[in-house]
Structure 1
């Protein structure tokens, strides 16, 4: 019974963390509800396979694969180019397919030449802590807006959506902190089902196009033949580099959570995980899905549910793959109200901030470290407030960096810390 519920909770977490992205991207590109449903189907199929490949052959951690915020951002930027007349929708989507294929190739090269071993040395507690704080900062805006009902029915705060969503959030927090182990372990699953039912009874669920076909294999290259462009090549190179830092950080964070609850420690193979990530990027391109990456938010899920075993995670991903084969279930999953999804996984994201603070706490908070932290957070959080449409005229590399406060702040932290180390090394030499 425990295995079944734990597996279903993984499915609930994966769905709640995933469905928003294809829907938002589909609406940005003007897709029909049927096309969005197919887009979601392909994304779930790829994410399920990606999670299985990693847990069985890659990093071997119960670490969810989800739509990468970086690829999400690139999709939205290209949707902006389409709306401004700079590209046709068909050409933009084909270029995005090509970009994910290029990204996968770069991951394979970096992994096979074992460059990742060198790169992971850069992820000190100072960098990991900064990364986690920035991750929460970057996601917090979307979560607050989602819970308040902004862009659900209207583009304003919607009280009839916000009130029950906030209630679900409070219930989720209370359930996750209860002294009853069973309820605490399955708080996310219980809250998602209860929240969905509440929204249905209140008439707050959206009607979507129902697909009548019983079985459907996700269509390869649904956007068409991949199309190369110089701008996308630059974007893909930059995105691959930044996703590499994301992968390393996610693995380190999840491993720390698992090791704190299990006496067995394991040596992570970052190069092997990089190979699988490259294959997963290829799958995203081949199946016209949203590019994926191991999600750091999994650490918050593990902290909340204490479900650190691999088997429920494996079964959960198998179920997600099976769901993707049946359009009726995919359409049903697409009906999860996004405010409910945001409310249910809010605490898992918020708990990442505590992990970041713990990383800082493990350091000697010298004047130098405090300076690096403050500068990195100022730049990273500040760039979150720069409107994306103001960056579209910039070169691809600069646009990709400036449009992502998480990566920009993390890179600043790495550069400052390594810069000080170089200075110290030269001083000791003298």
Structure 2
């Protein structure tokens, strides 16, 4: 919604800086745990974890910045993707320990697939190819394969020092997160509060304080995990992961575009069948996945529906705050003391954070499979109306997984005859603060 329509002046640069800090607080702590888990699955040795974190932080910042400037041009950030984490888990289950190069090779494959989807205009077809069972199965595969290792890390198994130094702070993290998510005022900061509480508990109970990792590496070296070599075992999982990632990009862009302009028709570029913004976003997604993989990133990013909740929390609908936050992410990635300090944090704390997120994904994935809730926040429809069937099921994407939604066709005057439209309805919260939007495309 424009500032002219509301009669208010644009936010000042100082307000944009403040809101950029809010974007950082809401995005980086949640992503940190996923980066550590992905690095362990990929076999990244502890001595080069700072390099991994620097590459991951730079990847998230660069991908977000490119999408804001040249891609979707929406207040939309890119964060860790469950589909790519699942591909890493699949490869880790059948490869030798320490074979971390496998994963950045896979991301290079994924980048090529996403760019191919963008060039050929297959974005609208992905919703037909990737059925609800495919999305739900891949989500549950991610959780099932990653959950055991995550629980072991949170409990301090095979970690140096007394086990209580690991599992007690992890227990504090989980308890604070569960309580904070039930309090509306602090719900957006639940993960940050939980992580800070866990660090405090660790400082109180552990014999030693936080340790800085001994590494001065920063992103910039090409292929730090080894020269890329491709094989079928690498290509196949990441082809599936990249298709799911591309579908997530298409769905999320439409959701955020609709949420950014409540009460107004979606612009033509956001509608199925045109897709100039969609193609730009997919090209930006594929390009940044490939570039950041070459710089050492092992976990791919996708546009996240968290952006809707964060944008409403911040109260600033512009792209400048999230763009400034992206610049700050990239700058932090090149500060060796920052990445070294992050790498020195107890691994059990990040594992506890990931355990919370995985538990949420598992719960919502099973609920989507068993209960099939029909609530929805938005709907797509297309004429001729006589060919639409109310009651069909389609999958919708969310930051925490895949959900089902029943098609509820909209009729005149809700829809303009002869073209697709988007109408808003009541919001459905997921993962505490995220507004899930049903995206129903190519209804027949």
Same fold (TM over 0.5): yes
Structure-2 change in CA distance of 1:143 and 1:104 (3 Å): closer
Structure-2 change in CA distance of 1:255 and 1:234 (3 Å): same
Residue 282, structure 1, aligned to residue 290, structure 2: yes
Structure-2 change in CA distance of 1:97 and 1:149 (3 Å): closer
Residue 312, structure 1, aligned to residue 321, structure 2: yes
Query: Which whole-Å deviations, capped at 9, do the CAs of 1:22-76 have from their partners, x for residues lacking one?
Result: 3113223443322222111111112111110011000112222122212212222
Kept in 2: contact 1:28–1:76 (CA 8 A): yes
Give the alignment partner of residue 74 of structure 1, picking from 87, 111, 118: 87
Give the alignment partner of residue 120 of structure 2, picking from 113, 122, 128: 113
Greater shift, 316-325 or 38-47, is seen at 38-47
Kept in 1: contact 2:154–2:352 (CA 8 A): no
Residue 338 (structure 1) aligns with: 350
The offset of 1:253, in angstroms, is 2.5
Unaligned runs of at least 5 residues, structure 1:
375-379, 382-412, 422-430
Give the alignment partner of residue 102 of structure 1, picking from 103, 106, 109: 109
Give me the whole-angstrom Cα distance separating, in 1, the residues matched to 2:243 and 2:95: 26
Matches within 5 A, 1:140-151: 151=153
Kept in 2: contact 1:33–1:208 (CA 8 A): no
Q: Secondary structure at the match of 1:222?
A: coil
Q: Secondary structure at the match of 1:248?
A: helix
Kept in 1: contact 2:45–2:98 (CA 8 A): no
Residue 10, structure 1, aligned to residue 23, structure 2: yes
Higher helix share: 1
Give me the whole-angstrom Cα distance separating, in 1, the residues matched to 2:200 and 2:152: 19
Give me the whole-angstrom Cα distance separating, in 1, the residues matched to 2:329 and 2:25: 9
The offset of 1:321, in angstroms, is 0.4
Give me the whole-angstrom Cα distance separating, in 2, the residues matched to 1:241 and 1:68: 12
Give the alignment partner of residue 56 of structure 1, picking from 69, 86, 99: 69
Q: Secondary structure at the match of 1:101?
A: helix
TM-score, normalization: structure 2? 0.64
Give me the whole-angstrom Cα distance separating, in 2, the residues matched to 1:245 and 1:5: 33
Residue 154 (structure 1) aligns with: 156
Structure-2 change in CA distance of 1:313 and 1:236 (3 Å): same
Q: Secondary structure at the match of 1:11?
A: helix
Give me the whole-angstrom Cα distance separating, in 1, the residues matched to 2:238 and 2:358: 30
Q: Secondary structure at the match of 1:41?
A: helix
The offset of 1:241, in angstroms, is 1.9
Greater shift, 333-342 or 279-288, is seen at 333-342
Kept in 1: contact 2:57–2:330 (CA 8 A): yes
Residue 20, structure 1, aligned to residue 33, structure 2: yes
The offset of 1:111, in angstroms, is 1.5
The offset of 1:154, in angstroms, is 3.1
Structure-2 change in CA distance of 1:361 and 1:31 (3 Å): closer
The offset of 1:361, in angstroms, is 7.7
Structure-2 change in CA distance of 1:208 and 1:121 (3 Å): same
Structure-2 change in CA distance of 1:65 and 1:265 (3 Å): same
After TM superposition, what 4+ stretches of structure 1 lie above 6 angstroms from structure 2? 130-146, 343-354
Matches within 5 A, 1:208-287: 208-211=211-214, 213=216, 216-260=218-262, 266=267, 267-268=269-270, 269-287=277-295
Give me the whole-angstrom Cα distance separating, in 1, the residues matched to 2:355 and 2:259: 23
Kept in 2: contact 1:95–1:229 (CA 8 A): no
The offset of 1:222, in angstroms, is 0.7
Q: Secondary structure at the match of 1:162?
A: helix
Q: Secondary structure at the match of 1:152?
A: helix
The offset of 1:102, in angstroms, is 2.4
Kept in 2: contact 1:41–1:218 (CA 8 A): no
Give the alignment partner of residue 295 of structure 1, picking from 279, 300, 304: 304
Give me the whole-angstrom Cα distance separating, in 1, the residues matched to 2:153 and 2:144: 13
Question: CA RMSD, aligned part only?
Answer: 4.7
The offset of 1:314, in angstroms, is 0.6
